[in-house]
Structure 1
Amino acid sequence: MPQATRLLIVDDDPLTRTLIGGTLKTMGFDIAEAGDGLECLALFGSEPVDAVLLDVMMPGMDGFTACAELRKLPQGRHTPILIMTGLDDLESITHAFEAGATDFITKPINFPLLGHRVRYALKASDTTRRFADSERRLHRLAYFDSLTELPNREFFKEHLHYMVSLAAAKGSPLAVLFLDLDGFKRINDTLGHPLGDKVLRAAAERLRQSLRAGTAVGWSDRFREGDALARLGGDEFTVLLSRIERAEDASLAAERIRTALGQALKIGGQELYTTTSIGIAVFPEDGGNADELLRNADLAMYYAKRDGGNTHRRFSGQMAAAVLKRMTLENLLRKAIERGELRLHYQPQFNIGNGTVAGAETLLRWTNPELGMVSPAEFIPLAEDTGLIAPIGEWVLRNACAQARAWRDQGLTLPRVAVNVSAVQFLHKGFPDLVTRILEETGLEPRTLELELTESALMRDADSAALALRTLKDIGVQLAIDDFGTGYSSLSRLKQFPIDRLKIDRSFVRDIETDADDAAIAVAIIAMASSMRLEVVAEGVETPGQLEFLRNRGCHEVQGFLLSRPLPAEQIAALLARPGARRTGGA
């Protein structure tokens, strides 16, 4: 049976309480009574009450004061309060509403209408309560992360704006820490998102406990007022330290947080370890407003991650300058293809036995009107980081194939043209189709094209790499492992790859005459390739002694400045046209 609605009638006149209570009881309400404001507050705090009918003129605490005190109580925030008053002047009514009254009832009371006024107030209050509950839920959805129950980006940014304004007014420092869990993507990809979510919840709880326990910078035993912890999204968290005394306190906080998050996590019967990269920005030195602080702490975190992770870095002006330079370079690189700023050069590869041209490696060159010649060591990693390597790599592949076909149409024979392929390109599912399409468009025979891949690209996902290599081999192209010896491929894996050629990295060739270890590595690569019936090309040959060493050890082909620098297409044509180079009558 549903519980009756309970009303509290507060009046210093017992007869009035009896008349009101009796009337409302006949309408199904449950009645409680109090003779003054203090008794009202005591009764309201000890028993559930759905509505209060409160007289104004009472000894001790009057109705206005009692109403205001009721509204201060958590359970009294939305409870209907009807003030009963014989005062019908506008000032008294205004005073009643200012004290928090829901409605007012004038004396003498119209008893036939009393129940209707109470029911209307209860209904309005219920609507208000539901609206308030919905508002609270919407606020939580808007400002809190559902996975970790931490504040989210919006909450943190609003709070940071407020705290920065306070710090500026007081002339006091504060710090923002930007955290990123190293290797979290690997956990998600290998162990699954459900376990990854558990790792995030565990990390959030460790951060929460660390700050509350005062382990961040040796504070007191509570989370300091004004400080904040938030999850921005993914595996990124932020911490606001609003009460630091000096910038070094932020570094101490970061180090202790890093140590706390580095402890083993036991989740689902597994023991997992995570490390954390942390960026620090201190107000006002590292940013004069909230947006600058958050951006610069993020940038410092990037540098911590670039340094290998599991460390913290504080923002510096040099970081900002480097980012500006990188952004400028990226913007210019995006426009390089359409502006015709990219060029291909080709470094000949020579047969070490008879000196004939055995092939040519395609090398990309970028000359910008503002920057001049830009080193590939500078713009190739940028292209890989930003995803520009895909359109640039396609441009290189298409133009190299078209140039090789053009040489053949001129009656010049180049056994093969080699094109470097990035890991991003190679592991894309559509790459073999792209190679097929370009070969068909340019009319180049597949056997003339050689694709060079690094060990790291092949070992990133060895099973997928083996499948992709077999698909490319079925097309008819040649395959080579570039910079061999610098990666971590195993012989068992290498045997699974349908490779035609290994290229000895220039780092081993450089000191091959004087360094016994480099010489031993080069000899071992040549011997291993011979046993696997693979050809070997040595890169970076710059001295006659290096060339003689490689010839005596059975290396098949060489390339380097001793023999030829990278050349533009027209000079390669002249080289191929020299006496001794094989000529054909065209394709």
Structure 2
Amino acid sequence: MLDTANNIALTFEQQQPPQKRHSILTNLNYALEDIARHATQYKIDTEQRAFCDKLTQLTNRHTFLEHIEEQLTIDDKSIHSALLFIDLDGFKKVNDSFGHSFGDEILIQVAERLKSIVRSNKLNVHSSPNNIEKNLARLGGDEFTIFLHNIVDAEFAVSIAKYVLTELERDFILGNKTIKISASIGIALYPESAGKPVTLVQLADVAMFRAKKDGRGIYKVYSPEMGSQLRRYHYLLEEMRLAITSNNFYLTFQPIIHVDGCIISYFEALVRWQHPIEGVIAPTEFIPIAEESNQILPLGDWILTEACRQMFAWYNAGMKKTKISVNVSVIQLKHRPIHQWVMNTLLSTGLPPSALMLEITESCFLDVSDDIIHELEKLREEGICIAIDDFGTGFSSLSILATLPVDVLKIDRMFVNEATNSIKYKKILKSIIDMAQQLNLKVVAEGIEDIIQLELLKSLGVKHIQGFLISPPESSINIGTKVLTQKSNHLAHNGLGVWQPKPSSIISRVS
């Protein structure tokens, strides 16, 4: 019997040598006690591996859903519950910047903070020998969830969501580094939103997606309207993939002119989507989807190539001093070797670098690496112009302008709109213009829609303007007809086209 007990103990790698001073029966008793203790620990460890996430030791997705199913089956529909879907903001950047081991440590610390929140608010439910918390789980990646059972009303769920947001906004300390992240939270209510665990998770995920879209670091409670928006999102995403390969996109071109003589400085290439069933889909709807899904990469490739191809045709027709401007997103900056990408496109289309301008939204510069800045500097050395678009809406400090490789500031239309009615905004606008002039940067005012705005900008010294007052975006055919067929000494002798706005009363004011 003692040999049998020792063999069993050996399976746990815990065999103890018999003590000579004890009898065989006593040694057998000790061996059985060890086996029982190790068997219990083995059961707990097995549960831990089966029911818990390996990294954070939180309940895993499968166990969490089973637990919710049990709770919702036991209780009737008069008892209200809620599910919080928590997704970290900026976690990918942590992994990219510091490595996955660093990111894993962040996830462990997040789990500990969430455990503390569950305990301090008495939300915990322990239903196993090793005290696995069933109401808190890691769903995968940087996604976590909390189940709030038998709550009084939705406001309680909101209060917990606010608590979670506050706790996750606190600094994370890893060695000598301080990391700041936040979270977006979606809330789905039972039985108002859904009656099944999987559906609750899905709808809370939809609400979280809305929180991400509306600015991050906030919470949203699911509503049916969000579901229709998500379906629209996925529908357009699939249609966009087809449209890229089916040539359903086309470019329009909006002129930017000099206020003296209406000389065309450059054309901004603007993408449009002609859907075979819905007609024209607004860029404000499909561009955000393209950026969030990375479809902006193949779409952006097409835009740059098509814009350069068209400008090469105009260049050969006489517009040798006019540029084409193409918008570049932060996604493209991060995922394309920007210098090589642009130069290869110019080489394939034949367009000289001096005829190209890249417009980058101001907020993009807050999230780009030194390597990307270096790539942009190389493009400028090639003769390509770099413009900051929507200037005035994204910087925490204007001093960064001293290090950015830019040639042009495009003042956001909000400043132009407000400056006509507000003295403070007028002063801000003037300070931006003065600063740009001190830095030898060209200033372009966008979104000009009426004469009052135009006269104000001229009085402040702005020379280059863009907007519907001058011209809406036009097709390449209309531009060719208007610019290339006109009898203009500028085009013939200087390679510069002229764009005469309508009506004629505007011309006299611009000229």
Query: What's the TM-score, normalizing by structure 1?
Result: 0.71
Separation in 2, partners of 1:415, 1:194: 50
Deviation at 1:501, TM superposition (A): 1.8
- Residue of structure 2 aligned with 1:503, choices 407, 410, 418: 410
- From 453, 467, 480, the equivalent of 1:546 is 453
For 2:391, the equivalent position in structure 1 comes to 484
Change (3 A) 1:154 1:6: closer
Q: 1:217 & 1:307 partners in 2: Cα distance?
A: 31
Q: 2:326 aligns with which of 380, 401, 419?
A: 419
Q: Classify the secondary structure of the residue corresponding to 2:269.
A: strand
> Residue 348 of structure 1 contacts residue 359 of structure 1 at CA under 8 Å; is this kept in 2?
yes
- The answer on whether the counterparts of 1:358 and 1:416 sit within 8 Å (CA) in structure 2 is yes
How do 1:168-317 and structure 2 match up within 5 A? 172-185=79-92, 188=95, 193-194=100-101, 196-216=103-123, 227-244=134-151, 249-258=156-165, 268=175, 275-317=182-224
In structure 2, what is the equivalent of residue 115 of structure 1? none
Aligned to 1:453: 360
CA contact (8 A) 1:427 1:464 kept: no
2:421 is matched with 514
1:583 match:
492
- The answer on 1:154 being equivalent to 2:148 is no
Aligned to 2:401: 494
Q: Distance in 1 between matches of 2:419 and 2:466?
A: 15
Q: Per-residue displacement from partner, 1:135-171 (whole Å, max 9, x unpaired)? A: 8766644432222212222322333344444446x87
C-alpha distance after superposition, 1:501-547 (max 9, x if no partner): 22222222224433223322332233222222222222122223332
Match of 2:491, as an amino acid?
R
Q: 1:32 to 1:541 in 2, by over 3 A?
A: closer
Q: Which stretch has the larger CA shift, 269-278 or 194-203?
A: 269-278
CA RMSD between the two structures: 3.7
Q: Partners in 2 of 1:469 and 1:261 — Cα distance?
A: 35
Q: CA deviation at 1:493?
A: 2.7
The Cα shift of 1:461 comes to: 2.5
TM-score normalised by length of structure 2: 0.80
- Which of 175-184 and 431-440 deviates more? 175-184
Matched residue SS, 1:366: strand
**In the TM superposition, what are the counterparts of 1:116-155 in structure 2 within 5 Å?**
140-155=48-63
Q: 1:141–1:567: structure 2 CA closer, same or farther, 3 Å change rule?
A: same
Counterpart-to-counterpart distance in 1, 2:98 and 2:450:
51
Shift of residue 378 of structure 1? 1.3
> Residue 377 of structure 2 aligns to a residue in which SS?
helix
CA distance in 2, matches of 1:485, 1:298: 34
Equivalent position amino acid for 1:160 in 2: I
How many angstroms apart in 2 are the aligned matches of 1:76 and 1:492?
A: 66
Contact 1:216 1:254 in 2 (8 A): no
SS in 2 for 1:241: strand
Greater relative contact order structure (CA < 8 Å, 6+ sep): 2
In structure 2, do the counterparts of structure 1 residues 317 and 431 end up closer, same or farther at CA, with 3 Å as the change threshold? same
Where structure 2 has 5 or more consecutive residues not aligned to the other structure, the ranges are 7-21, 496-511
Hey, what's the Cα distance between the residues in 2 that align with 1:146 and 1:515?
A: 58
Q: Distance in 2 between matches of 1:277 and 1:516?
A: 38
Q: Indicate how the Cα distance of structure 1 residues 494 and 218 shifts in structure 2: closer, same or farther if over 3 A, else same.
A: same
Change (3 A) 1:226 1:31: closer
CA displacement, residues 4-31 of structure 1 (integer Å, 9 cap, x when unaligned): 7779xxxxxxxxxxxxxxxxxxxx9923
The answer as to whether partners of 1:175 and 1:281 remain within 8 angstroms in 2 is yes
Aligned residue in 2 for 1:48: 30
Q: How does 1:281-430 map to 2 (within 5 A)?
A: 281-413=188-320, 415-430=322-337
Match of 1:439? 346
SS in structure 1 at match of 2:146: strand
> How far did residue 354 of structure 1 move?
1.9
- Secondary structure of 2:371's counterpart equals helix
Task: For residue 393 of structure 1, report the CA deviation from its aligned partner.
Answer: 1.0
Question: Following TM superposition, by how much is the alpha carbon of 1:215 offset from its aligned partner in structure 2, in angstroms?
Answer: 3.4
Q: How many residues are treated as equivalent by the alignment?
A: 474
The Cα shift of 1:416 comes to 0.7
SS in 2 for 1:215: coil
Letter in 1 for 2:30: P
Q: In structure 1, list runs of 5 or more residues that go unmatched.
A: 8-27, 34-43, 52-72, 79-128
Report how far residue 238 of structure 1 moved: 1.6
Kept after mapping to 1: 8 A contact 2:326/2:359:
yes
Change in Cα spacing, 1:204 to 1:448, as seen in structure 2 (3 Å) is same
The whole-number CA distance in structure 1 between the counterparts of 2:445 and 2:431 is 13
3-state DSSP class of the match of 1:31?
Answer: helix
Range that drifts further, 183-192 or 317-326: 183-192
Q: Secondary structure at the match of 2:447?
A: coil
Q: Give the secondary-structure state (helix, strand or coil) at the position aligned to 2:360.
A: strand
Distance in 2, matches of 1:531 and 1:189, equals: 37
What is the deviation of 1:373? 1.8
**Larger CA Rg, structure 1 vs 2:** 1
In the TM superposition, what is the alpha-carbon distance from 1:236 to its structure 2 partner?
1.9
